[in-house]
């Protein structure tokens, strides 16, 4: 009689353990699927953001004074320094990125990083942007650099 009771108790415990184990595995699988969905959606968002920036460049080190029209400054820079014919109509928008606060600037300087002004330029057409990028070598000996955004 004791043997039957022990066998029945063992079977009940085994069934409960199996149910709990399956439940834990299902919860972990759901967690992994949720994280995978999040990664996939983030990757898609990143791809879309990169696609939207395909007509952009960044010009590092180009001085733009306060109150000055950034599109005009960029247009003149491209004409004079890169010897490329562009008009203000070729540039959809141009603006400077905010300069970091003095605390961040000091922190960057201690790490050997130099904070220079950066201008974001969005061209109306990609072929104009590509012509400008090809000319980056002209600026090699200057403190100004052109990079893709």
3-state secondary structure of 17: helix
The mean pLDDT value of the chain amounts to: 87
Q: How far apart are CA 99 and CA 95, in angstroms?
A: 12
List C-alpha distances in Å: 3 to 7, 10, 15, 90: 6, 10, 18, 90
Instruction: Convert the pLDDT of each residue in 96-108 to its tens digit.
Output: 988 766 655 555 5
Question: What residue has token string 């085994």?
Answer: 14
Q: What is the pLDDT of residue 101?
A: 63
Are 141 and 82 in the same domain? yes
Q: What is the pLDDT of residue 31?
A: 93
Q: Residue 119 sits in a domain of what CATH number?
A: 3.30.70
Looking at the predicted structure, is the pLDDT value of residue 73 above 90? yes
Top-ranked range on mean pLDDT: pick from 22-26, 65-69, 96-100, 135-139: 22-26
Are 34 and 85 in the same domain? no
Count structural domains, the chain.
2
List C-alpha distances in Å: 120 to 55, 60, 96, 123, 148: 10, 9, 6, 10, 10
Are 16 and 70 in the same domain? no
Instruction: Convert the pLDDT of each residue in 118-129 to its tens digit.
Output: 999 999 999 999
* Host domain of residue 4: 1-52
Are the beta carbons of 59 and 77 closer than 8 angstroms? yes
Are 100 and 63 in the same domain? yes
Are the beta carbons of 121 and 73 closer than 8 angstroms? no
């Amino acid at each position: 009689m004791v043997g039957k009771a022990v066998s029945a108790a063992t079977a009940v415990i085994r069934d409960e353990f199996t149910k709990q184990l399956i439940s834990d595995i299902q919860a972990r699988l759901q967690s992994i699927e949720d994280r995978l969905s999040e990664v996939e959606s983030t990757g898609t968002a990143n791809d879309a953001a990169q696609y939207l920036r395909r007509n952009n460049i960044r010009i590092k080190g180009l001085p733009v004074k306060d109150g000055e029209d950034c599109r005009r400054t960029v247009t003149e820079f491209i004409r004079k320094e890169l010897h490329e014919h562009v008009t203000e109509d070729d540039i959809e928008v141009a603006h400077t990125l905010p300069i970091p606060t003095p605390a961040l600037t000091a922190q960057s300087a201690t790490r050997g990083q130099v904070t220079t002004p950066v201008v974001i330029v969005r061209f109306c057409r990609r072929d104009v942007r590509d012509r400008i990028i090809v000319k980056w070598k002209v600026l090699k000996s200057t403190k100004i650099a052109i990079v893709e955004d």
